[in-house]
Chain A
Amino acid sequence: MRYHRVLLPLLLVAAWELAAYFIANPFILPSLTTVVPILANPMSMTYTLGTGSLLENAFASIQRVGLGFLLAASIAIPLGILMGRSVALTDLLDSPIELLRPIPPLAWVPLALAWFKIGLTSIVFIIFIGAFFPILLNTVDGVRAVKKTWVEVATTLGASERQILTKVVLPGAAPTVWTGLRVGFGIAWMCVVAAEWLPGISQGLGYLILYAYNFGQTNLIIAGMVVIGLIGLAIDLVFKRVERRWFSWRELER
């Protein structure tokens, strides 16, 4: 590894420690020595103010995101395929989608509470909203970008509509759909943290960091933030890996 890749992080850590030493107020800036033990013991109950271990909180968040994200994907992908194939449907749905899309997912919170009350359904709904539009729009784009010639080759070889869908349209659109899933997951992960600030929630990384604030435990806030960042990063890496392994043809194709 090139040394300057670790140089800056090391400097930042040093600067942090120095600043924490001079500020001398762990509520503003806790020393890293109080953050690291929390991260090093993710299964321990001692640091988390009775909310369950760090790992349990992370798991709760991942579960919620997973649910909302899968729901979004399972509606947005089929709908996107239909829209990509049918001009009439696109004309019909285009303006409502363009109207709804710019509304930030969190602006839906009051409505979600009114509809679904406090609880899992509301959170999943917010995540669903966050993930839905990038998946839908990328799927539509991907299906539209399927070359007419690809479809016609299949037609002349005697393919049925169904075969054209499964053997040409889906694989042809897959890389772009995957991009939509990746972007959608990123947004969903951001939404979950805020959605866990809703009343009536008692676990999750978002809940944990706000709860820690109420107790003045800034070291726990920071540990929670680090975990949120790391999980987001890890999942994005998985998405990228799959993209490189399966969908690199999109970039390599001349």
Chain B
Amino acid sequence: MGLKLDGISKSFILEDGTEVRALDRITLEVSDSEFVSVLGPSGCGKTTLLRIVAGLERATVGTIVLDGETIEGPSPRMAMIFQEYSLYPWRSVLANIEFGLEIKGLAGEERRDRALSYLDLVGLREFAGRYPYELSGGMRQRVAVARALAIEPAILLMDEPFGALDAQTRNMLQKELLEIWEKTKKTVLFVTHSVDEAVFLSDRIVVLSPRPGRIQEVVPIDLPRPRERTSVEFARIRRYVLDHMENMAVSSKV
């Protein structure tokens, strides 16, 4: 069971007819409740990979298999959190979280209560009636997380959700995400280009090469959580991952 990416390749054909190869034969299995990060330099195809898994984009070659079934489009078992701000500015915080439930046809008290409970989970209860423009960047991403969780998916796809935040907020949200993950036991596929973030969060790190993204290395991390960024072990793993990325950068330049 779980999520399986089977030989995913993706090429974009540009308007002038040139081909951009974004991904090259990505094969990866993610088991239930596992936290897997996809790490790679900018432009290596991380977003593209996540969009293919989410059903927003079709792979040129390869299939996505979820619990033994090949999936062709967006699945209610997965929810995505986008790299850029994605809240609906005309909806209040609560109404944003209710959005997915509205789509599902849930109504009235039940919808409201469910939305409120996820608002509680991200610690923003008292902001229920506020609007996105009244929130800081970190709060907005918390709301986006709550909106994704509210439809109760098995898998969370997260595309550099904390990329635009300052370091302090970012660290805080990473901690909160781990707490939520431990509480809800979701499978998480998390895209980032920060080595530090990947090592702090993940059970496994999948390192992609520069474009076209190819799996360069899979690094399991069995440090107990909560992880200490200043610990020797943490530094060792970070060093190890960084070395891999730097080697790639060097070899791709030659």
| A positions within 8 Å CB-CB of B | 147, 149-150, 152-159, 163, 167-168, 171-172, 174, 247, 249-250, 252-254
Contacts and interface: CB of A to CB of B under 8 A. Distances in A.
A254 B133 contact: yes
A167 B74 contact: no
Interface stretch (B25-33, B83-91, B115-123, B238-246): B83-91
B208 interface: no
A250 B90 CA distance: 8
Contacts of B151: 157-158
B103 A156 contact: no
B54 interface: yes
Nearest to B73: A155
B88 A163 contact: no
B100 A157 contact: yes
A158 B103 contact: yes
B79 interface: yes
Nearest to A247: B90
13 contacts: A149-B85, A150-B88, A152-B56, A152-B86, A153-B86, A156-B54, A157-B100, A157-B103, A157-B151, A167-B103, A171-B91, A249-B131, A253-B133
A249 B103 contact: no
Contacts of A171: 88, 90-91
Given A149-B86, A152-B56, 15 more contacts: A149-B82, A149-B84, A152-B80, A152-B82, A153-B88, A153-B99, A154-B103, A157-B104, A158-B104, A159-B103, A167-B99, A171-B88, A171-B90, A172-B90, A252-B89
Nearest to A163: B103
A121 B151 CA distance: 53
A243 B85 CA distance: 24
Contacts, number: 69
A253 B84 contact: no
Interface in B90-119: 90-91, 99-100, 102-104
A159 B55 CA distance: 13
Contacts of B90: 171-172, 174, 247, 249
B78 interface: yes
Contacts of A247: 90
B56 A155 contact: yes
B76 interface: yes
Contacts of B99: 153-154, 157, 167
A47 B54 CA distance: 72
Nearest to A150: B88
B210 interface: no
Contacts of A155: 55-56, 74
Contacts of A158: 74, 76, 100, 103-104, 151
B214 to A, nearest CB: 26
Nearest to A155: B74
Nearest to B56: A152
A102 to B, nearest CB: 31
Contact of B78 (A156, A159, A174, A254): A156
Given A152-B56, A252-B133, A157 B79 contact: yes
